[in-house]
């Protein structure tokens, strides 16, 4: 009687034993590396209708973040400024620049400039800027060195694990309350390492970030 299985099938168990773990490790690596928001989200830099440079305005000229994003201390969202905020200066400076044509048109017609949103959390995560600023989380901690970006891009993954990293260890990520918009704040500087939010007399409340589900998912 001839053999039912050809001779090469003897190698199948060996192949499974060797390739199986390799493929498994590859899949795990792939998911860990490529499905992470570090890969899918960080570096997102959409093209905006007006090529506004944060490097020029916030970096070189040193405008405070809150000059434009003025709701950030009192509302959940750091609002995109209305066109009038641009025109505060640009009705007097660079008034005939072709790059600013859309801004002037928007101001005259009253129709908003269709800015493209860069940072967007899932709709089930209820992030609120207000308590984060009140606790002394600086702009650059989550948004990176905006003052060095000609085109704004996502700097941090804004994933749940990333949020929890800080909620579980807030002290190393907080700064004095009057340095929130300071883009030059270096979390590794001596000043930052010496700063202890729990001993800051300027603070009226103890820092207790929530770690329970309903802290962010209502």
CA-CA distance, 82 to 115, in Å (whole number)? 11
Does position 200 interact with another protein (CB under 8 A)? The reply is no
Stretch that binds another protein, among 110-118, 133-141, 188-196, 205-213 (CB under 8 A): 110-118
Residue with tokens 């795990």: 28
Does position 85 interact with another protein (CB under 8 A)? The reply is yes
Residues 6+ apart with CB under 8 A from 187: 141, 172, 173
Handedness of CA 87, 88, 91, 97 (dihedral sign): negative
Stretch that binds another protein, among 16-24, 62-70, 165-173, 193-201 (CB under 8 A): 62-70
- Per-residue contact string for residues 111-150; x = within reach of another protein by CB under 8 A: xx-x-----x-xxx--------------------------
CA-CA distance, 155 to 159, in Å (whole number)? 12
Does position 64 interact with another protein (CB under 8 A)? The reply is yes
* Three-class SS state of 6: coil
To 5 degrees, how large is the angle CA 102–CA 108–CA 113? 40
Does position 66 interact with another protein (CB under 8 A)? The reply is yes
Closer residue to another protein, CB minimum distance, 2 or 62:
62
Residues that bind another protein (CB under 8 A): 33-47, 61-64, 66-67, 70-71, 74-77, 79-82, 84-85, 87-89, 91-95, 111-112, 114, 120, 122-124, 153-154, 178
């Amino acid at each position: 009687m001839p053999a039912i299985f050809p001779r090469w099938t003897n190698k199948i168990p060996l192949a499974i034993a060797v390739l199986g773990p390799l493929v498994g490790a590859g899949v795990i690596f792939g998911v860990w590396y490529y499905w992470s928001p570090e890969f899918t989200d960080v570096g997102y830099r959409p093209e905006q209708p007006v090529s506004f440079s944060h490097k020029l305005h916030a970096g070189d000229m040193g405008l405070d973040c809150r000059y434009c994003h003025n709701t950030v201390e009192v509302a959940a969202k750091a609002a995109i400024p209305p066109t009038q905020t641009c025109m505060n200066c640009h009705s007097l400076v660079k008034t005939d620049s072709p790059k600013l044509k859309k801004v002037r048109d928007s101001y005259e017609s009253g129709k908003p400039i269709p800015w493209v949103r860069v940072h967007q959390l899932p709709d089930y995560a209820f992030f609120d800027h207000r308590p984060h600023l009140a606790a002394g989380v600086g702009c650059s901690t989550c948004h990176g060195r905006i003052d060095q970006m000609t085109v704004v891009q996502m700097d941090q993954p804004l994933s749940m694990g990333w949020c929890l990293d800080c909620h579980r260890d807030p002290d190393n990520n907080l700064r004095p309350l009057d340095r929130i918009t300071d883009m030059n704040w270096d979390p590794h500087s001596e000043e930052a390492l010496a700063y202890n939010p729990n001993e800051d007399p300027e603070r009226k409340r103890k820092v207790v970030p929530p770690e329970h589900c309903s802290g962010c998912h209502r």
